[in-house]
Amino acid sequence: MKINKTNLDNYITGNYGEDEQKPHKDMLFNLREIKEAVDWATGDDGFRSSEVIEILKQIKRENNNESKGEKSN
């Protein structure tokens, strides 16, 4: 699948198609790619993208902590 504005919009808004809980396998991005996309979208020098990366890391930590709590219960 080629990445275009519609695919990216669907990924960002959570419109994943049939399986609404998981992103499409071709729409996974690494932190470098996310940082670059935020820099391009905001026309920023890297401040906002660094902020976004920190938010994503925090969300990941929280999700990991929640899943660990579920396993121990």
pLDDT tens profile 6-59: 656 665 555 555 555 565 667 788 899 999 999 999 998 899 999 999 999 999
CA distances from 50 to 10, 33, 35, 39, 62 (A): 23, 12, 7, 9, 18
* Domain that includes residue 56, residue range: 5-72
Q: What is residue 21's predicted lDDT score, i.e. its pLDDT? A: 52
Task: Domain count for the chain, please give it.
Answer: 1
Q: What is residue 72's predicted lDDT score, i.e. its pLDDT? A: 61
- The pTM of the whole model exceeds 0.75: no
| Sequence-ordered list of residues with C-beta below 8 angstroms from that of 39, at least 6 positions apart, any chain | 45, 46, 48, 49
When the pLDDT of each residue in the chain is averaged and rounded to a whole number, the result is: 77
